[in-house]
Chains A and B, each alone.
Chain A
Amino acid sequence: MWDYSDKVKEHFFNPKNAGAVVDANATGEVGSISCGDALRLTLKVDDDTEVILEAGFQTFGCGSAIASSSVLTEIIKGMTLDEAAKVTNQDIAEQLEGLPPEKMHCSVMGREALQAAIANYRGEVWKDDHEEGALICKCFAIDAVMIEEMVWANKLRTVEDVTNFTKAGGGCAACHEDIEAILEKVLAEKGEKFDPDAASVVAPAKIAAVKAPLTNLQRIKKIEMVLESLRPALMADGGDVELVEVIGNTAYVNMTGACNGCQMAAMTIAGIQQRLMEVMGEFIKVVPASEMAKLVNIEVA
């Protein structure tokens, strides 16, 4: 089952403004091809002020579709049409305390129904401005249509390119096979062949710069810099960290203040190590300075 927030559950189990508004003068009907869900939004708009007096929804869809519809009606009641037109799907998701990536399209459907209803009130015909495809990257919620468009537009050739341009594949990497399949398909349409070893379209110099090894002095300076940036967070918890020694790729630190003897110290150290590796782009081991004596003794022995 999805990990729905309490807010989603609240709106699903006790939906607000369910049903059609009587005497509605604006209606928006949209569906999400992603899941077959569909929504009819009805509004009663004050003709003089353009304030939304009443909003009601009818939804054929899952828990998050119903919750998105419900929260949408709550958000827009009392707004003018101009204000309501600025409501985004992010606003809907935020009001629901977040949605699983696979369910973000439910909030998009809410926004589209709203825009369709506003257009309907103004006697315009609402046209959908984007196409939605199968969700490929779950870490950053990127779908197939988006990736395909970027591959076409920017002549992307590799998974790395796709990650650089869309973020897709930059997280857990589980979707790399799917991204390769898209590359294969698009490149075939262009009459080219997918080559996993093709050079990245991103300037190679930029990558090389990152790979250059650090001197020991540069390394110490950088570690100090990272620790400095982490210090405020540690001090907020009444602790601190101090760099004692750097030998090769190992940084010896003292956890002081509240960190000293804290059961979470090991986790904090692991967190520092992770941050250092991210910033420096090389393997760094962070070890409590108390371990240094043992090491030196062993080396001497």
Chain B
Amino acid sequence: MSDIYLDNNATTKVDHAVVDVMIPYFLEQYGNPSSIHKFADGVARGLKHARQQVQALIGCEHDSEIIFTSCGTESNSTAILSAIKAQPNKKEIITTMVEHPAILNVCDYLEKEGYTIHRMPVDKAGRLNLEAYKKLLSEQVALVTVMWANNETGTIFPVIEMAELANAAGVMFHTDAVQAVGKLPMMLQDTKIDMLSISGHKLHAPKGIGVLYLRRGTRYRPLLRGGHQERGRRAGTENSASIVGLGKACELALEYIEYENTVVKAMRDRLEQGITELIPHCFVTGDLYNRLPNTTDIAFEYIEGESILMLLNKAGIAASSGSACTSGSLEPSHVMRAMDIPYTAAHGTIRFSFSRYNTMAEVEKVIEVMPGIVATLRKLSPYWEGDGPVADPEKAFAPVYA
């Protein structure tokens, strides 16, 4: 069997049909869409079509609400900085402890600039407390920015309800939906969401293209000023080939959204059931009953994630981990810490994330190799003895930490 890719929340393979529609924009229609000649006359049409394809996927009212950006991170930065620039008297932002660094690091930076950041905690299943959220909403708040679905656990936040609450309190609402778009059906025109971020490479479009959805009427300040591109809301020559590619990817995502929630979900469920049945001392993290259909995050106790990944990689299987070691940071994943997952488990979390390209045969292969990998590493672990963890692990092994 060829290599198995189960790291689709990190990035995805570009769909062949997407590559096909992009090629003419490199080789033939390579003109600047602003130019008046035959190298450019199809480009504007291509961009318009792509805008409509994105519009159809997220169900927004107008195609002019779609602003093409360079990536999800740019969309997130634009949304946050726009909200505070457009409302200079409001000095508070509401977010969560489990956002992506593309949100958290911008908030940390604004905190240094004097903003008050409310980072809402989550419970052990990664869920928010909406009562606490309601109390935070006030006239002082410039923006609520809450992810639609968590990249590590797949846990879905009730953003539609939260946007209603924000709207009722007169507060702008943004959601980082890079993991949710294409996996969950959406109809933005029926919501009170003001801004939403999309990343192309999470849904089989290329890297380097993103979208900021901006509801008509939402106060806005551009991040990049310059030319008239995107109606002056995001200057810079359009990445026409990638925009057209993203359009096609959105069309395909809409086509496959039911497949994602049936066939892909069944593969995820089978993997989860197989692994948790065969391997002792492991558990699934996040909100099991309210998750993306393609994601599972499993904590293997008493062993460390990078070691698991290296052995998986040797077996031809690609996944990712929330351990500190894979990122070179000090701490295990902030998402695991926020959920209060014990240290010896948080370091051993492995995320398997599926796409429509995966097969059930691949799932069976992973179920076959995983028990051996975990057993190999547990044999090396000071917390493990024979067939189980040592009695009272925390006391039996208490190293001096330096």
Q: Is the pair B380, A66 in contact by a Cβ cutoff of 8 Å? A: yes
| Contact pattern, B 326-364, Cβ under 8 Å of A = 1, otherwise 0 | 101111100000000001100100000000000000000
Q: Is B310 within 8 A of A35, CB to CB?
A: no
Would you list 18 pairs from A and B whose C-beta atoms are within 8 A, ordered by A residue? A13-B314, A30-B400, A33-B402, A35-B325, A37-B304, A38-B382, A38-B397, A40-B382, A58-B380, A58-B382, A60-B344, A60-B383, A62-B326, A63-B307, A66-B380, A100-B328, A128-B402, A132-B402
Closest to B329 in A: A134
The B-contacting residues of A in range 223-240, CB under 8 angstroms, are: none
- A-B contact sample (12 more), CB < 8 A, given A33-B402, A62-B304, A62-B306: A29-B399, A30-B399, A32-B401, A36-B324, A38-B397, A59-B380, A60-B302, A60-B303, A61-B307, A61-B325, A63-B310, A135-B328
- Report which of A59, A64, A112, A131 forms a contact with B381, defined as CB distance below 8 A: A59
The answer to whether B307 and A30 have CB atoms under 8 Å apart is no
Bits for A1-39, please: 1 = Cβ < 8 Å to B, else 0: 100000001001101001100000000011111111111
Interface centre among B302, B310, B328, B399 (most CB of A within 10 A): B399
Q: Which among B305, B306, B313, B314 has the greatest number of chain A C-beta atoms within 10 A?
A: B306
A116 CB within 8 Å of chain B = yes
Q: How many residues of B contact A (CB 8 A)?
A: 34
A interface SS class: mixed
Contact A134 B330 (CB under 8 A): yes
Q: Is B38 an interface residue (CB 8 A)?
A: no
Known: A15-B380, A62-B323. A126 touches B400 (CB 8 A): yes
Task: Please report the total number of A residues contacting B with Cβ < 8 Å.
Answer: 43
- CA–CA, A134 and B305, complex, Å: 20
Q: In the assembled complex, which residues on chain B have CB atoms less than 8 Å from the CB atom of A57?
A: 380
List which B300-325 residues lie within 8 A (CB) of chain A: 302-307, 309-311, 313-314, 323-325
**With contacts A18-B380, A35-B330 known, is A63 near B401, CB below 8 A?**
no
Residues of A within 8 A of B36 (CB): none
Cβ contacts under 8 Å, A32 to chain B: 401-402
In the complex, A29→B395 CA distance in Å? 12
User: What is the minimal beta-carbon distance from A226 to any residue of chain B, in angstroms?
Assistant: 37
Q: Does A130 sit at the interface, judged by CB under 8 A?
A: yes
For B313, the chain A residues whose CB sits under 8 A away are: 1
Which A residues between 196 and 214 are near B, CB-CB below 8 angstroms?
none
A102 interfacial by beta-carbon distance below 8 Å? yes
**B398 beta carbon closer than 8 Å to chain A:** yes
The reply to whether the CB of B270 lies closer than 8 angstroms to some CB of chain A is no
C-alpha spacing A65/B329, complex, angstroms:
15
Contacts of A130 in B (CB 8 A): 402
- Tell whether, in the assembled complex, residue B397 and residue A29 are in contact, meaning their CB atoms are under 8 Å apart: yes
Taking CB atoms, residues of chain A closer than 8 Å to B314 are: 13
CA distance A245 to B254 in the complex (A): 68
Distance between A198 CB and nearest chain B CB, rounded to angstroms: 20
How far in angstroms is the closest Cβ of chain B from A43? 15
- Report how far A15 CA is from B379 CA in the complex, Å: 11
Q: Is the CB of A60 within 8 A of B382?
A: yes
Which interface residue of A35, A59, A116 has the most chain B CB atoms within 10 A? A35
